[in-house]
A and B are shown apart, each in its own frame.
Chain A
Amino acid sequence: MFTQQLMNALAIGSVYALTAMGATLIYGILGILDIANAGAYLIGAYLGWYIYYATGSIVLAFVLSMVAVGVLGILIQKFIYSPILAKPNTLSIIPLVAAVGLFTMSSDLVRLICGPYSLSYNFDFGVTSIRIGSVVLVPAWILIFALTAVLLLILWFILNKTKLGLAWRATANDTEIAKVCGVNTSNAMALSYILGYGFAAAAGIMVGILYNSITPALGEVPSYKMLAIIVLGGLGNPLGTVLAGLIIGFTEVFLSAYTSIPIPKDAIAFVVLIIMLLVKPEGLLGQKNKV
């Protein structure tokens, strides 16, 4: 039973980490809290569903959906966020308001176009469960573990081993200085969005397969929970985000399995967040801010 919960927590934590990764990459470069990332998660899940039913290939569903949503991300960055950020004297709350608007738009468009009811992936793994000793594994978990690991490895590789990744890290460190040094900062921004939204799309499909159900409200819980996770992870720190996603996943699963607290599962992330901000205001792996 305990091991079962452990695996469950790990699966949920992985999905959280992947969903929040987009918001982290975007915050790292543009410094905005992009709730609309949860819209990418939702649209990704639906696109994946249509592609899966049209082609019968789950691989194509993942790949095409990630690419399409990633491109959508670049368009949103180019035509919505960048012009807003380019305006002088913008209050920090303004991009967040734009993000909320975009997210509501995506949920509502999905509801109007695809219908308000839930759709099922009905993805057949071939086996219903895998037994290793006394532990029973759900195949969807294995898919999630494997895919999360692969995507995070790809992310690590791009950020640390490629020129584009170097540009990203330089821009995240200090946009102005990076610009002066000849770094193409707009490429770095585009990278944030294509990876961020692409990852969110993948996470959307995974959740669709895990729970075998997608609805237009799919993005609501991640939209805010993601914020708690990226703050926990130290805002803009990819490694911290993975850790924070796992911590929230574990806390949720174990608190609701072994205790009876008066707080619903989805609010736990914020309780953890508020407690942590009281103890360590700069985030889990965040550095103390230079004044």
Chain B
Amino acid sequence: MSSAYVFSILATAAIFTLLALSLNIITGYAGQAMMGIAAFFGTGAYTAAIITTHGGNFFLALLAGMVVSGIFGAVLGVISLRLQADFLAITTIGINFVMAALFNSLKITGGTLGLTTSKPVVFGIRMTNMHFFIFTTILIVIVCLLITKMRHSWFGMALASIENDPGAARSFGINVSKYQILAFTIGTALAGLTGGLYAHRMGFISASDFAFVVSIQIVSMCVIGGLGTLRGPIFGAVLLSALPEVLRFADNYRELVYAVLLVIMVRFMPGGLLGDDSPVWKFLVKIWRKFVPRKKTRADLIAEQAIAEGGQA
């Protein structure tokens, strides 16, 4: 295997990891059924591509893709307030179809011909797959750090409450719709940023890159890895990006294998391979604990003290 080939796979895996993380914010943390993430991925991709093909700066284009997609997401968030979970799932599917149709027919997006982008030149170097991989990985690390910080903040607590029980969340003073819109905006903005990266790494984009199937792929990544965890979507994205390469010999059966895997997963392990309740994950944690004992939390201490004092059983 040539290193160019390896880096092309790695760059793809990294980009889809970032995209899976964006969906995870909306569906995993905030519990909103988003089935059309590719629409926002595409919005970011086309926005960035249009800017650079008109001579704009690459990083500026990425930022613009993020902002436009985020605004679009915020608008959808406002609409989604009125809808129940199932309506929202269908509406997002619908938005995906409508957007893909628009990408395919509007003049500014190149219609059926799509858009061709040139590899950006940064500090005098033309970016290759390796550069895209490194740049995207840095972004993944930053996003992971930001998400970890969120999980320890009141913002994270609000999302966790909403995901578990919106009614209870309201009774804690949480403005459920406001937080849902925020989660939508952040998630779709990140998807837009990822789209900009994708457009320039691929060198060419067309409507089929942002079809509903792509949304399903991203959902599958999160579900197979474990929605609502940080490790899950990353693992799922890397796994599903590598799978086509591994299954290359059986190209004709690829989709089928995908589909069967997906059905088996949700049937027997809906929390994902690395979800909190997964036997695989529990086993890994058990081994890890042999080397690094668990730090006791405040809750553990309270419970232990109470049991030691012989509290009411």
Direct A–B contact present (CB less than 8 angstroms): yes
Whether, in the assembled complex, B288 has its beta carbon less than 8 Å from a beta carbon of chain A, the answer is no
Say whether A270 contacts B27, CB under 8 Å.
Answer: no
Say whether A289 contacts B259, CB under 8 Å.
Answer: no
Taking CB as reference atom, which chain A residue is nearest B216? Answer: A100
Chain B CB count within 10 A is highest, among A87, A101, A264, A267, for A101
Chain A: number of interface residues, binned into ranges: 35 or more
Taking CB as reference atom, which chain A residue is nearest B106? Answer: A262
Bound Cα distance A88, B254 (Å):
32
Over the window 79-98 of chain A, the binary record of Cβ atoms lying under 8 Å from chain B Cβ atoms (1 yes, 0 no) is 01001100100111111111
Taking CB as reference atom, which chain B residue is nearest A83? Answer: B267
B interface residues, tally (CB under 8 Å): 43
- Which residues of B in the span 144-169 have a Cβ within 8 Å of any Cβ on A? none
Say whether A267 contacts B223, CB under 8 Å.
Answer: no
Contacts of B89 in A (CB 8 A): 33, 92-93, 96
Bound Cα distance A266, B79 (Å):
23
**Besides A84-B266, A112-B252, 11 other CB < 8 A contacts?**
A80-B267, A84-B267, A94-B266, A94-B270, A96-B33, A100-B262, A105-B259, A112-B253, A262-B105, A263-B101, A267-B101
What would be 13 A-B contacts, judged by CB atoms less than 8 Å apart? A83-B267, A91-B33, A91-B227, A93-B89, A95-B266, A97-B223, A97-B266, A100-B262, A108-B259, A228-B94, A263-B102, A267-B100, A271-B98
Select which of A96, A262, A270, A281 is within 8 A of B94 by beta carbon.
A270
Say whether A262 contacts B102, CB under 8 Å.
Answer: yes
- Which residues of A in the span 79-132 have a Cβ within 8 Å of any Cβ on B? 80, 83-84, 87, 90-98, 100-102, 104-105, 108-109, 112
Whether, in the assembled complex, B84 has its beta carbon less than 8 Å from a beta carbon of chain A, the answer is yes
Say whether B220 contacts A105, CB under 8 Å.
Answer: no
Whether, in the assembled complex, A1 has its beta carbon less than 8 Å from a beta carbon of chain B, the answer is no
Contacts of B95 in A (CB 8 A): 270, 274
Say whether A93 contacts B263, CB under 8 Å.
Answer: no
Whether, in the assembled complex, B90 has its beta carbon less than 8 Å from a beta carbon of chain A, the answer is yes
Contacts of A40 in B (CB 8 A): none
Taking CB as reference atom, which chain B residue is nearest A226? Answer: B90
Over the window 237-269 of chain B, the binary record of Cβ atoms lying under 8 Å from chain A Cβ atoms (1 yes, 0 no) is 000000000000000110110111011001100
Contacts of A281 in B (CB 8 A): 82-83, 87
Say whether B267 contacts A105, CB under 8 Å.
Answer: no
Distance (whole angstroms) from the CB of B28 to the closest CB of chain A? 9
